[in-house]
Amino acid sequence: MRKLIVFNQVSIDGFIADAAGDMSWAHRSDPEWNAFVAGNAGSDGELLFGRTTYEQMAAFWPTPMAAQQMPDVARGINAAPKIVFSRTLTTAGWNNTRIVAGDLLAEVGKRKAEPGSAMVVMGSASIVAQLAELVDEFQLVYNPIALGGGKTMFAGIARHLPLSLSASRVFKNGNVLLTYTR
């Protein structure tokens, strides 16, 4: 059985993007953080995205700039298998990407039951909210910034989602990784 993991950067007031959809505030670089991100990108997981996050990621990671700025991360994320859930996207230009227009819960539930590596949702707030009850682990990186408004990943969940803290890590740049399991 495959694990379903959510990995998201979050402001201290609970937003994964500001009111304009910008996430540039989440890029707090330092050697320790960069090594952690590169290690995560090198895992063999399958990436799951909603259309908006997919388009943002596909616009950056396959570029020469990404390869120059973060070569290990770019190499890992570009090589990873990717699924984008969208009813409007018809073609995917980013390598190793498959578009799924059908039932999100049924597709992910079916894939969870199969053997294989973990599936990781990044960004994709509406996808996270829809899949919340199927998620095995939430890896939330709290950034030392308050946005005052924006997009949350839990808007519209059907019921309370009790979680247990299973790990934590504080980075020198002020980021704090909290890992919660169900």
Per residue in 110-122, pLDDT (tens digit) is 999 999 999 999 9
How do residues 8-38 score in pLDDT, each as one tens digit? Answer: 999 999 999 999 988 889 877 788 988 888 8
Average pLDDT over residues 142-167: 95
Question: If you average pLDDT over residues 55-65, what whole number do you get?
Answer: 94
Q: What is the pTM of this model?
A: 0.93
Specify the pLDDT at position 66.
Answer: 92
Instruction: Report the chain's mean pLDDT, rounded to a whole number.
Output: 93
Q: Domain of 168?
A: 4-181
- The DSSP annotation for the chain comes to ---EEEEEEEETTS-SB-TTS--GGG----HHHHHHHHHHHTS-PEEEEEHHHHHHHHHHTTSHHHHHH-HHHHHHHHHS-EEEE-SS-----STTEEEE-S-HHHHHHHHHHSSSS-EEEES-HHHHHHHGGG-SEEEEEEES---SS-B-S-TT-SS----EEEEEEE-TTS-EEEEEE-
- At 6, is the pLDDT very low, low, confident or very high (cuts 50, 70, 90)? very high
Total domain count, the chain: 1
The pLDDT of 147-157, averaged and rounded, is 94
The CATH number for 39's domain is 3.40.430.10
